[in-house]
Chain A
Amino acid sequence: MLQSSESIFENIRKDFPILKRKVRDNKPLVYLDNASTTQKPNQVIDSITDYYQNHNANIHRAVYALAEEATEAYESTRDKIANFVNIQNRQELIFVRGTTEAINLVAYAWGRPHIKEGDIIVTTEYEHHSNIVPWQLLTQEKGAKLEYIGMDDNGELILDDLDRILATGKVKLVTFSLMSNVLGTITDAQKIIEKCKAAGVLTLIDGAQAVPHMKVDLEKLGCDFFAFSGHKMLGPTGIGILWVRKQVLETMSPFHGGGDMIREVHKYETTWNDLPYKFEAGTPNIADVVGFGAAIDYLTKIGMDNVRQHEIELTTYAIEKLSHVKGLHIYGTKDISKRGGVISFNFADVHPHDVAQIIDEEGIAVRSGHHCAQVLMERLNVAATSRASFYIYNTKAEIDVLVNSLNIVAKVFKL
């Protein structure tokens, strides 16, 4: 149920010990770099401590009590995640280090057996480097081609480009992020998937920016691969998810060879373990999987529709306030229904690094730079942007601090 934003979010900040911190000259921390990584609530931190203090053992092997508890804690997170993104078959969920590893896994274990000379893989102009570089490596190795869906001046994808490229009949995969990490644009995934399905082409979605901020229903989406990271949604670093539709997963070669991914190993041949373990070689990041499970519980309790609503309120407020700052340019669409809580901007001719450094003195953490999206920076014809990105614990008062700090930048640079 959708509740008024204030009643749910009022008390959230007390769960996050780091938000009590003072930085620089005793300024309260204003953390606005959530698209990069989010802070962790006590519930997540405590679950990891509890795992190491009370349950630590390797999983899927020994018969003693601790091993059973560890296995249960690890596997129950898989179920929580299946439920969180609406997946019927838990065998399709693979634990990886994060979105980057997930996409590399697909490029390696699906791409190498399936992509041939002359094939085309399609990505978009607003992708993170992690959804560009693995495909450059693969297409270069195979003599295949990488093509791009362009972006219009409003920060939205030009789907005519997709139609044109699909018409070649050579496309094997279309890969795109559900939300741009720079512009916050929410991709019209349904439309892209519809077009790809009609052409018999597989689709991969980078959900790293979307899953933390809105309800995502994989069953409804109907893509073939989906990746996201735990640390951008209150969970620990070093843990993420790759989901692959079973019919596709069954056609993939292993990624890493080693323990847990095998059924039988002989001197010269090996048979593979069942899904998903075929793709989880070696002792996994058990403690952080447990922490990820606690993060899923935390978000489930708040409700993802409430998370989205809170961010719509913050983003609307921030865009309104920032658009009154003289000389400040916000990139991307102003249509709030088409964007998440990410605002990239440039301030007159001041370089984003200088903006970030000056407002850092006021306790504000924003990202400045190319945001691992240099193809997009080229398209926008800028070297870098400043980026403020919000999450459940941010407040309108913090946005006021950001806006006021820009006055200091204006003063230093005599704007």
Chain B
Amino acid sequence: MSAAAQPPLGVSGATRRRGLPWRRRHPIAHMAIVRLALGVVTLFAVSVLIFLATQALPGNAAYAVLGHSATPQRLHALEAQLHLNESLVAQYGHWIGGVLRGDFGTSLANGESVSALIGPRIVNSAVLVFLAGIIGSLLATAMGLIAAARRDGWFDHVSSVGALTVTAMPEFVVGIAVVIIFAINVFHLFPAVSVIPPGTSPLSNVSLLVLPVLTLSVVIAPYIFRMMRAAMIEALESDYVEMAELKGLSRRRILLVHALPNALPPVIQVIGLNLLYLAGGIVVVEYIFNYPGLGAALVAAVSDRDIPTIQFLVLMLAAFYVAVNIVTDMLALWASPRRRAAR
């Protein structure tokens, strides 16, 4: 390390005129700002790409709306109404202009305001994703901790095999199994479908959320569990833990105060990845439970070639991806002071 080139951390500007640059003193904030700026550029690029991709599909919204009953007359009338005969640049410009004013346009399929119709569905999905993310992560992290602490014990073996089995099952199998066990065949504890009536909040009817959240939690838990277990085992085998044991510290203190914080950064990354997976993969669960979320809305919008709705949903998803990535990296950086210092 070329010590001569840079002043040691913490020494106030003795050898430089203005001291450490701002980005060194606030590494997390600096990273967040840079990533936010890049995120905005990403969103813009995504919107253009998706717009072009939708145009490449055969047919357009007028065909999709009229379906089987499209006659040339009605098609022309509807295309004119929906501005589908304007140039691509004009259509995109029209849309982006609205977005910059906060107006996401009206759906080509039904003429309602996109944000009014789809906004609640995004909220519905967000509730599922966060509930499943939190519950699944907490449960899996705790299980990983215990499995690592009692390595090769019965709990470790049972949970490892269980995690492997669940990983092998596709999401819809888990979902159907959950419905069969808890709703229809074995027990009749919860509703078999989770139709949130339009205009009501998903949290006002918690029994409808139980089975979808259970399905999603079960789906993401194995990855978090395995990462936590592996990271904990590595932490428990390190020198400083050996030192702490020799010093005579209690097992619990070693686990929670010394090993756990060091195991967290990779687990945070995995949790972040799983949240992103949930956002994209939620569509299967939404179909099984007929849950009015964004996954089903996006599939329907693509099928309908409903460009404003597709753009809105894709932008929201992309923004979610960017945000989760930023937050995950910030948390991981915060959880490992060594990396912060090295920047």
A in complex with B: no
